[in-house]
Amino acid sequence: MDPKCWRVELNDGRFIPVLGFGTYAPEEVPKSMAGAATKVAIDVGFRHIDSAYLYQNEEEVGKALREKIRDGTVKREDIFYTTKLWATFLRPELVRPALERSLKKLGLDYVDLFIIHVPIAMKPGEELVPKDAGGKIILDTVDFCDTWEALEKCKDAGLTKSIGVSNFNHKQLEMILNKPRLKYKPVCNQVECHPYLNQRKLLEFCKSQDIVLVAYSALGSHRDPNWVERDSPYLLEDPILNAIAKKHNRSPGQIALRYQLQRGVVVLAKSFNEKRIQENFQVFDFELTPEDMKAIDGLNRNFRYEKLLL
């Protein structure tokens, strides 16, 4: 089967490609690189592209998508594009304008998936992370159930095909699932997930609710000092991961991605390096053994790379 066709069904009947291309990069990386890397990713075979308002690169990513549609590499319906509602737009009246702003930057009529980026509301405004004079984040008080209703309206308006959440824990998910007059369940919960933080319990809960778990930081390689502590361990240097990689004649990164696919997790791979982008897509033609999976399960230490906001 063509890897580009590897998809799983969401609870709203739509399908999401199991392997996605992440476009986040630290501030010092030129935004143009996100566009160039997106074009490479599409040429390699990626059809699921993940971005967000927070990443401040949607103009570049949108331009890359439109170029690849224009040159005939893909049709719009081949692409599954995700954007995220940032924390400063969680008030219900700000939700649709935020999505419309992303659509305008992207040059698209709709996105495939629109998700609440974090279960934290911050003071509305143009500042991405509003802080007081003492450097403390200024929070806002918002009922996420009201925010969710505004997302449901965006889906009904055809601005997004599916809606979901990100960085939600079990209790926060239940708050949405148990809300009165729930029209649409979240189709996914995108969270940090890798062998050092395998999210076993959250994955089990999501599966029981027919919610797809989407893994970011799956390679543990993103080390932006704004979010990640400098002394964090290097996942891809882990000896067990490397031993399994050597056995299969693969890279540790390919093993980390394949591990998620075999657990039923949709996984995002992020790299702006052409060779690595190609390598990250080559995870459909080998299989980890039950012993490999057990050994990787054993690496879990509930270690979170993304510490500084959540």
Among 55, 81, 216, 259, the one annotated catalytic: 55
Cα 56 from Cα 127, distance rounded (Å):
12
* Residue 55 annotated to the active site: yes
Q: What local confidence, expressed as pLDDT, does residue 310 receive?
A: 40
Q: What local confidence, expressed as pLDDT, does residue 215 receive?
A: 98
Give residue-wise pLDDT tens across range 159-175.
999 999 999 999 999 99
- Stretches in the chain below the pLDDT threshold 70: 1-5, 221-228, 308-310
Question: What is the pTM assigned to this prediction?
Answer: 0.96
Cα 57 from Cα 114, distance rounded (Å):
16
Cα 20 from Cα 281, distance rounded (Å):
9
φ, ψ dihedrals at 234, nearest 5°: -90, 105
Is 29 exposed, middle or buried, given 0-12, 13-18 or 19+ CB atoms closer than 10 A? middle
Cβ contacts of residue 2 below 8 Å, gap of 6+?
none
Give residue-wise pLDDT tens across range 15-54.
999 999 999 988 889 999 999 999 999 999 999 999 999 9
Is 117 annotated as ligand-binding?
yes
The answer to whether the beta carbons of residues 30 and 58 sit under 8 Å apart is no
Query: Angle between the 170-177 and 144-156 helix axes, to the nearest 10 degrees?
Result: 60
Q: How far apart are the first and last CA of the chain?
A: 39
Cα 148 from Cα 180, distance rounded (Å):
12
Of 64, 12, 5, 7, residue with least CA distance to 33: 64
The answer to whether the beta carbons of residues 190 and 218 sit under 8 Å apart is no
Q: What's the token pair of residue 100?
A: 């419309």
Cα 80 from Cα 19, distance rounded (Å):
11
Q: What local confidence, expressed as pLDDT, does residue 157 receive?
A: 98
